[in-house]
């Protein structure tokens, strides 16, 4: 049941992309354990605003774990300590009274900090622009039922397609690699017959763009899958490796 | 200049890694002749050397593979450090899947490199006969050299540490190369990860058994 | 007189004939025509991608850091289509009929019929894009049934249909961005519409990172900015959902239609404290196996399990024996509110009812229930910390969708030439109530299959403006107005935060203009809203600058618009002296407590015209005629 806890927050503040950032200490007192993590920051922000200080900037939107907007590193872990949970769905009952929480932005060279806890993840969009689609134009699709997809393939594709593009995998990876994100999109599209036609070109273009964006490479640390709020498995990375090796481009 | 995709580089590391693993296993098998005594061991070494022209090619290949493995891992390592961004997190608490074997791989790798150089000067680039090979005044050839080396507890210890590091390297490396080549299977992938640790452990134990055997069991 | 431009001919032939007769733009000219698309939800992303494929120059804007994060991503349940794959008797006509009836006879027949017609193409298109819809073991597409329909016509991708459909549209968008056919502006918020000589010519946009305000010129402007449910502060909508784009367009002359049609979803996780920032939807499907109840005695604080069977009131089953727990959304919602208002609500706030799976678990076993609703139960537990298979779930209604929006004609063009409105932002095809799984259908129908045709007709007729439009005074004016507004917000330097004002407004609307409305309450709200607004402009506190990323400032701008829009919403509710769909006026109900429509007087679309601050808006009526579906009263008892 609900109770109140007091916390100390050590939060990364950075004015903009070019400014130097630093940690600042804040008190979060009488936090209701039923609050979500973002609601806890809301409370701190209301207080800061009233004191005339600039509130902490953080990305969020749906607050139900699907838009992929939220995400910060709490005590070294992207999206905080609870597995398979986005920051917006993490609740304060997972923390103890008196705890100090260190909150930082997702860090990677390809994700420059925009302000405080907000980072620029547009690199993900550009990787998708390179090939994360099926080249079908509106209007030229045949009847949906003419194409059968085995249940197994449909489920494998769906498992991978659940990725919300939050970037936690990159932030968790000691190499700042985007393998889980890119692998998830490749698995989604490459296992389906609709996407198979362009498979070779897709894997090449996306990997090339991924490298160009400055993401690291994979040394199979598997931190990414542990941090992924959608439980995307590193099997998508293996599949990407295989497709890349076999592709004719 | 040809720019290799990160995945391609990684796959070259894995391929060279695989060759190195095969070498390590082959070399281990060869060294097990030590349990057959000096005749058997020297016979094996002699037999190997009789394959000379071919062996030269193999050695050169091995050297290249080593070089490729190292240079690519080093370049990937530097790229990856850069890709992390300017700093790591204030609290270092991995989410949980990262093993110590994988964390330490650059260090175990470097240690192995140091060891191999030392090792080559120890056994390979030196004469297999002469003062270092004498056991009780009799020249026992290569066997003698190995025997004398491992009778020194410090020498043995250095080897045991090195092969433990090798085991560590392989505990991550073997499953890693399989993942890098793209094998995935919901049942087998987790098993391979366990297997990899066993392989690493067994390689370390098997190699360690040689200095230990000489140090503890073989009477002069 | 408001002309909906409905093509003549038999209902079922209208769209086909219209498509065949509208003007086409010659391919060479398309390259020189620019369309500005605001919003990248299902409607905006699908429209932008399709327009770019046709060869138009397209620029796209969205608030989030990536188009993929538009609120459409959150839709769970599914998307309807008249495919009739299960062979259970579905057809275009039946989908049309259900939608008209579900909308409580407050939508345009011609639009709804067209929606049903194109629904099937949507599924084809999405499958071709690689949307991983659920399939059976033979590899065929699977369907589920949804409220308001007797056939199985809902396609779904686990509990994430909206996500998968949006990713499909987003990927199509990315494909065109990659080719250079679309220019993408993320973290960009539309501040105003630029209208020159009565024609929409461009938009004013604020870059949310740098604070820079820029104008963009286009040959047509498409608004796909979603719904305004967040006017209630607490809703199932994402935090950035807003009415800014449509409200500013309204202030520039576009008519706002039926703003009082708001939809409430009965099964959401209840509010647990003042800090609450949003409400989470629990899929309606839970009502298939859950029984809704409250304690019979008011103020009973015993834990659920300690309340004996005889002291529980399964009020839906009691009042609506035929439909039981599966009555439509609005009825379920109003009854829950009635129980809570009577003091029988549960949870510490008293604003919740139980949704109990105990009997279902006894009947089919825990494993089956877990399999059916696995991720929902998990989500509930993650949020509340309680296991709903052992302690009954607590639910309460919440604002979920807005049927109202900018008025558009059959071609999806507003009364301002050149301004097109699609998706939830327009007043839509859902009448006074939207059926489950129909919003996704409508958004994609608009974007993929309707707008790309109808906008062509407009552009083909468009005469290139002789003057250099970009240099026109209206653009400079727009930029300076936007800047002034921002400066004004920053200059107040009062004591109350944006959230405080927003919460107050939301609470007021929820109480007076929420699930059930009456004249007195609406009049009170109408008096109170200007007071809050006045206070807002006097005592608002926004820290930081306008030349920087400033989230409080962004919110302040949106809340300022909500504070104006709310008045129109309430006024519309007050004017519509009948009950229909999501708009329930307590004065107008049947004996069974059902919504009582007054078709003789209110069978029209209420389209409001802005007449300036402080001046009463003018109501234009678009009469609704029902030729195919006979008007009928709903009855679920
Ligand atoms: C929790 C939930 C579940 C739902 N489930 C279902 C379901 O199962 N089936 C169904 O059919 N419907 C469902 N709906 C309804 C449906 O999701 C929405 O109606 C639909 O997705 C709206 O799509 P849209 O494209 O019109 O707008 P949105 O997806 O809301 O997109 C709005 C876009 O406009 C942009 N924008 C807004 N304002 C501005 C501005 N001022 N400047 C620039 N850009 C701006 C935003 O950034 C965004 O890109 C659900 C809704 C909710 C809340
Ligand atoms: C107890 C352990 C070991 C023993 C007793 C041993 C023994 C030897 C001997 C005797 C040689 C010389 C062979 C010759 O010149 O014909 C040799 C060569 C070599 N050893 Fe080892 N070795 C051991 C472990 C290792 C390990 C762990 C590695 C690698 C990681 C290794 C790598 C090599 C290499 C690269 C050569 C040179 C190969 C060649 O010349 O063909 N050795 N080793
Ligand atoms: C006998 C010697 C060696 C063997 C058997 C071996 C084997 C392997 C294997 C199998 C891998 C895994 C490849 C993959 O992840 O796909 C690997 C990785 C690695 N090796 Fe070695 N290796 C040896 C020597 C070295 C040396 C000398 C170095 C040092 C410089 C080194 C450094 C690394 C590094 C850093 C990696 C990780 C690279 C990455 O994952 O990005 N290794 N090794
Ligand atoms: S793979 Fe997982 S962690 Fe990475 S972006 Fe997708 S959802 Fe986030
Ligand atoms: S954590 Fe990084 S190293 Fe590979 S397996 Fe995941 S991307
Ligand atoms: S805010 Fe959308 S995933 Fe967290």
CA-A179 nearest atom, ligand 5: 7
Neighbours of chain B (3+ CB pairs under 8 A): A
- From C564, C566, C479, C570, select the one nearest C251 (Cα to Cα): C564
Indicate if ligand 1 lies below 6 Å from the C-beta of C189: yes
Distances (CA, A) of C508 to A105, C279, C495, C501: 37, 17, 21, 11
pLDDT profile of chain C (637 residues), mean per 10? 92 97 93 96 98 98 98 94 96 95 94 98 98 95 81 92 97 98 98 96 97 96 98 97 98 98 95 91 87 94 92 94 83 91 91 94 90 83 91 95 98 98 95 93 98 97 78 94 97 97 97 96 98 98 96 98 98 97 94 88 97 96 94 76
Rounded to the nearest whole angstrom, what is the distance from the C-alpha of residue C69 to the centroid of ligand 1?
A: 10
What is the pLDDT, as a whole number, of residue C443? Answer: 98
Q: Which two tokens stand for residue B130?
A: 């002469």
SS3 content of chain B, % helix, strand, coil (to 5): 80, 0, 20
CA-B98 nearest atom, ligand 5: 1
- Classified as helix, coil or strand, C1 is coil
Indicate if ligand 6 lies below 6 Å from the C-beta of A70: yes
Indicate if ligand 2 lies below 6 Å from the C-beta of B116: yes
pLDDT digits (tens, 9 = 90+) for B117-161: 999 999 988 888 888 888 888 999 999 999 999 999 999 999 999
How many Å apart are CA A128 and CA A118, to the nearest integer? 21
Residue with tokens 């008293």: C350
* pTM score of the predicted model: 0.96
Which residue among B91, B172, B184 sits closest to A102, beta carbon to beta carbon? B91
How many Å apart are CA A83 and CA A227, to the nearest integer? 7
DSSP annotation string for C435-462: PTT-HHHHHHIIIIIIHHHHHHHHHHHP
Q: What is the DSSP letter of B122?
A: I
Pocket test for ligand 5, best of A110, A221, A232 (most atoms within 8 A of CB): A221
Chain A partners within 8 Å of C51 (Cβ): none
Inter-residue contact C85 to C141 (CB < 8 Å): yes
pLDDT at B1 over 60: no
- Residue C534: exposed, middle, or buried by beta-carbon count in 10 A (0-12, 13-18, 19+)? exposed
Angle at which helices B105-119 and B52-83 cross, to 10°: 150
Which residue among A107, A217, A223 sits closest to B97, beta carbon to beta carbon? A223
Contact between A59 and C175 using a beta-carbon 8 Å cutoff: no
Which residue among C123, C384, C544 sits closest to A54, beta carbon to beta carbon? C544
Hey, of C84, C123, C137, C167, which one would you mutate to test binding to chain A, going by the most A CBs within 10 A of its CB? C167
Q: Which ligand has its closest atom nearest to the C-alpha of B6?
A: 3
SS (HEC) of C124-143: HHHHHHCCCCCECCCCCECC
What is the pLDDT, as a whole number, of residue B52? Answer: 87
Residues with pLDDT less than 50, chain A: none
Q: Within 10 A of C631 (CB to CB), how many other CB atoms are there?
A: 13
Hey, of B104, B182, B188, which one would you mutate to test binding to chain A, going by the most A CBs within 10 A of its CB? B182
What is the pLDDT, as a whole number, of residue B220? Answer: 63
Q: What is the DSSP letter of B163?
A: H
Indicate if ligand 1 lies below 6 Å from the C-beta of C229: no
pLDDT at B85 over 90: no
Rounded to the nearest whole angstrom, what is the distance from the C-alpha of residue C550 to the centroid of ligand 4?
A: 27
CA-C447 nearest atom, ligand 1: 25
What is the pLDDT, as a whole number, of residue A222? Answer: 95
Indicate if ligand 3 lies below 6 Å from the C-beta of B109: yes
How many Å apart are CA B125 and CA B59, to the nearest integer? 13
What is the pLDDT, as a whole number, of residue C633? Answer: 79
pLDDT at B209 over 90: yes
Indicate if ligand 5 lies below 6 Å from the C-beta of A224: yes
How many Å apart are CA A36 and CA C426, to the nearest integer? 33
Phi and psi torsions of B3, nearest 5°: -100, 120
DSSP annotation string for B94-121: --S---HHHHTHHHHHHHHHHHHHHHII
Rounded to the nearest whole angstrom, what is the distance from the C-alpha of residue C74 to the centroid of ligand 6?
A: 10
Contact between A239 and B80 using a beta-carbon 8 Å cutoff: no
Contact between B6 and A244 using a beta-carbon 8 Å cutoff: no
- Classified as helix, coil or strand, C214 is strand
Q: Within 10 A of B140 (CB to CB), how many other CB atoms are there?
A: 21
Phi and psi torsions of C589, nearest 5°: -145, 155
Which residue among A207, A216, A238 sits closest to B80, beta carbon to beta carbon? A216
Higher model confidence: residue C129 or residue B219? C129
- From C56, C87, C51, C285, select the one nearest C173 (Cα to Cα): C51
Q: Which ligand has its closest atom nearest to the C-alpha of A61?
A: 6
- Classified as helix, coil or strand, A28 is strand
- Give the distance from residue A220's alpha carbon to the nearest chain B alpha carbon, in angstroms: 6
Rounded to the nearest whole angstrom, what is the distance from the C-alpha of residue A86 to the centroid of ligand 6?
A: 7
Residue with tokens 């949106």: C558
Chains C and B touch (3+ CB pairs under 8 A): no
How many Å apart are CA B66 and CA C401, to the nearest integer? 63
How many Å apart are CA C68 and CA B189, to the nearest integer? 32
Hey, of A125, A163, A187, A198, which one would you mutate to test binding to chain C, going by the most C CBs within 10 A of its CB? A125
DSSP annotation string for A81-103: SSTT--GGG-BGGGS-TT-EEEE
What is the pLDDT, as a whole number, of residue B8? Answer: 96
Residue with tokens 């409220």: C147
How many Å apart are CA B9 and CA A236, to the nearest integer? 19
- Give the distance from residue C73's alpha carbon to the nearest chain A alpha carbon, in angstroms: 6
How many Å apart are CA C539 and CA A50, to the nearest integer? 12
What is the pLDDT, as a whole number, of residue C349? Answer: 86
What is the pLDDT, as a whole number, of residue C467? Answer: 64
Is A123's Cβ below 8 Å from some Cβ in B? no
Residues sharing a CB contact under 8 Å with residue C76, sequence separation 6 or more, in sequence order: C159, C160, C161, C162, C281, C283
């Amino acid at each position: 049941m609900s109770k109140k806890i007091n916390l100390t927050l050590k939060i990364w503040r950075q004015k903009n992309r070019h400014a130097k950032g630093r940690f600042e200490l804040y008190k979060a007192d009488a936090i209701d354990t039923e609050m979500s993590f973002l609601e806890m920051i809301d409370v701190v922000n209301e207080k800061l605003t009233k004191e005339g200080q600039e509130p902490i900037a953080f990305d969020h939107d749906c607050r139900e774990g699907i838009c992929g907007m939220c995400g910060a590193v709490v005590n070294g872990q992207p999206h905080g300590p609870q597995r398979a949970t986005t920051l917006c769905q993490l609740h304060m009952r997972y923390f103890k009274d008196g705890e100090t929480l260190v909150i930082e932005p997702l860090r990677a060279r390809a994700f420059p900090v925009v302000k405080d806890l907000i980072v620029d993840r547009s690199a993900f969009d550009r990787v998708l622009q390179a090939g994360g689609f099926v080249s079908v134009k509106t209007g030229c699709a045949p009847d949906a039922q003419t194409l059968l997809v085995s249940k197994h393939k449909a489920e494998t594709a769906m498992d991978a397609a659940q990725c919300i593009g939050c970037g936690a995998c990159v932030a968790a990876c000691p190499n700042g690699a985007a393998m889980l994100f890119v692998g998830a999109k490749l698995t989604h599209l490459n296992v389906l017959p609709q996407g198979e036609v362009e498979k070779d070109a897709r894997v090449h273009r996306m990997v090339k763009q991924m490298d160009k964006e400055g993401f690291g490479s994979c040394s199979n640390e598997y931190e990414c899958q542990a941090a992924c709020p959608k439980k995307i498995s590193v099997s998508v990375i293996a599949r990407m490796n295989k497709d890349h090796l076999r592709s004719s481009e | 200049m040809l720019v290799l995709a990160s995945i391609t580089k990684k796959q070259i590391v894995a391929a060279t890694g695989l060759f190195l693993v095969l070498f390590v296993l082959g070399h281990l098998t060869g060294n097990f002749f030590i349990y057959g005594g000096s005749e058997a061991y020297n016979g094996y070494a002699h037999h190997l050397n009789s394959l000379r022209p071919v062996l030269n090619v193999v050695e050169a290949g091995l050297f290249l593979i080593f070089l490729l493995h190292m240079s690519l891992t080093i370049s990937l390592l530097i790229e990856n450090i850069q890709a992390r961004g300017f700093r790591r997190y204030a609290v270092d608490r991995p989410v949980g899947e990262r093993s110590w074997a994988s964390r330490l791989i650059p260090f175990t790798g470097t240690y192995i490199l140091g060891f191999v150089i030392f090792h080559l000067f120890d056994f390979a680039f030196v004469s297999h006969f002469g003062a270092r090979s004498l056991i009780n005044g009799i020249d026992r050839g290569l066997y003698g050299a190995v025997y004398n080396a491992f009778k020194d507890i410090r020498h043995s210890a250095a080897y045991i540490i090195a092969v433990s590091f090798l085991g560590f390297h392989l505990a991550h490396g073997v499953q890693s190369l399989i993942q890098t080549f793209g094998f995935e299977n919901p049942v087998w992938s987790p098993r391979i990860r366990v297997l990899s640790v066993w392989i690493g452990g067994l390689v370390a134990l098997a190699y360690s058994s040689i200095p230990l055997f000489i140090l503890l069991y073989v009477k002069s | 007189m408001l002309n909906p431009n409905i093509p003549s001919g038999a209902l079922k032939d209208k769209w086909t004939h219209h498509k065949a007769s509208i003007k086409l733009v010659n391919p060479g000219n398309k390259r020189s025509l620019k369309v500005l698309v605001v919003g990248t939800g299902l409607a905006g992303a699908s429209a932008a991608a399709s327009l770019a494929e046709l060869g138009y120059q397209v620029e796209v804007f969205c608030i989030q850091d990536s188009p993929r994060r538009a609120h459409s991503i959150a839709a769970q349940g599914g998307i309807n289509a008249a495919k009739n794959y299960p062979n259970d008797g579905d057809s275009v006509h039946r989908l049309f009929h259900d939608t008209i009836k579900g909308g409580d006879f407050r939508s345009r027949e011609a639009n709804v019929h067209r929606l049903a017609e194109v629904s099937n193409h949507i599924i084809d298109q999405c499958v071709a894009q690689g949307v991983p819809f659920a399939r059976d073991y033979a590899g065929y597409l699977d369907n589920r049934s949804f409220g308001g329909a007797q056939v199985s016509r809902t396609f779904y991708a686990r509990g994430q249909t909206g996500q998968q459909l949006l990713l499909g549209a987003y990927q199509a968008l990315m494909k065109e961005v990659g080719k250079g056919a679309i220019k993408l502006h993320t973290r960009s918020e539309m501040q105003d519409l630029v209208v020159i000589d009565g024609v929409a010519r461009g938009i004013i946009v604020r870059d949310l990172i740098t604070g820079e305000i820029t104008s963009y010129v286009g040959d047509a402007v498409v608004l796909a900015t979603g719904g305004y449910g967040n006017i209630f502060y607490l809703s199932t909508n994402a935090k950035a959902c807003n009415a800014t784009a449509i409200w500013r367009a309204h202030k520039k002359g576009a008519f706002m239609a039926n703003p009082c049609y708001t939809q409430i979803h009965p099964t959401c996780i209840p509010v647990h404290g003042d800090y609450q920032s949003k409400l989470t939807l629990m899929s309606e499907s839970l009502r298939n196996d859950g029984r809704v109840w409250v304690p019979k005695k008011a103020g009973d604080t015993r834990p659920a399990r300690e309340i004996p069977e005889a002291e529980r009131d399964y009020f839906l089953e009691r009042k609506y024996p035929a439909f039981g727990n599966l009555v439509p959304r609005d009825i379920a919602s109003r009854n829950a509110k009635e129980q809570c208002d009577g003091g029988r609500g549960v949870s510490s706030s008293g604003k919740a009812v139980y949704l109990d799976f105990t009997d279902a678990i006894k009947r089919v076993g825990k494993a089956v229930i877990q399999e059916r609703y696995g991720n929902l139960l998990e989500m509930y537990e993650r949020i509340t910390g309680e296991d709903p298979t052992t302690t009954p779930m607590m639910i309460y209604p919440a604002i979920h969708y807005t049927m109202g929006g900018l008025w558009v004609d059959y071609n999806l063009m507003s009364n301002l030439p050149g301004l097109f409105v699609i998706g939830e932002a327009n007043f839509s095809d859902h009448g006074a109530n939207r059926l489950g799984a129909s919003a996704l259908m409508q958004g994609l129908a608009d974007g993929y299959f309707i707008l790309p045709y109808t906008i062509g007709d407009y552009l083909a007729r468009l005469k290139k403006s002789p003057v250099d439009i970009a240099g026109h005074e209206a653009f400079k004016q727009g930029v300076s107005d936007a800047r002034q507004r921002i400066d004004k917000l920053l200059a107040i330097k009062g004591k109350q935060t944006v959230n405080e004002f927003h919460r107050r407004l939301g609470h007021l609307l929820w109480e007076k203009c929420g699930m059930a409305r009456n004249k007195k309450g609406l009049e009170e709200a109408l008096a109170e809203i200007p007071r809050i607004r006045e206070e807002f402009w006097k005592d608002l506190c926004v820290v930081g600058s306008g030349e920087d990323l400033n989230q409080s400032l962004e919110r302040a701008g949106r809340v300022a618009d909500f504070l104006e829009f709310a008045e129109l919403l309430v006024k519309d509710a007050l004017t519509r002296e009948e009950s229909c769909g999501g708009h329930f006026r307590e004065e107008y109900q049947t004996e069974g407590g059902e919504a009582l429509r007054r078709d003789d007087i209110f069978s029209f679309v209420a389209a409001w015209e802005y007449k300036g601050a402080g001046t009463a808006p003018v109501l234009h009526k678009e009469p609704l005629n029902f030729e195919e579906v006979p008007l009928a009263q709903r009855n679920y008892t």
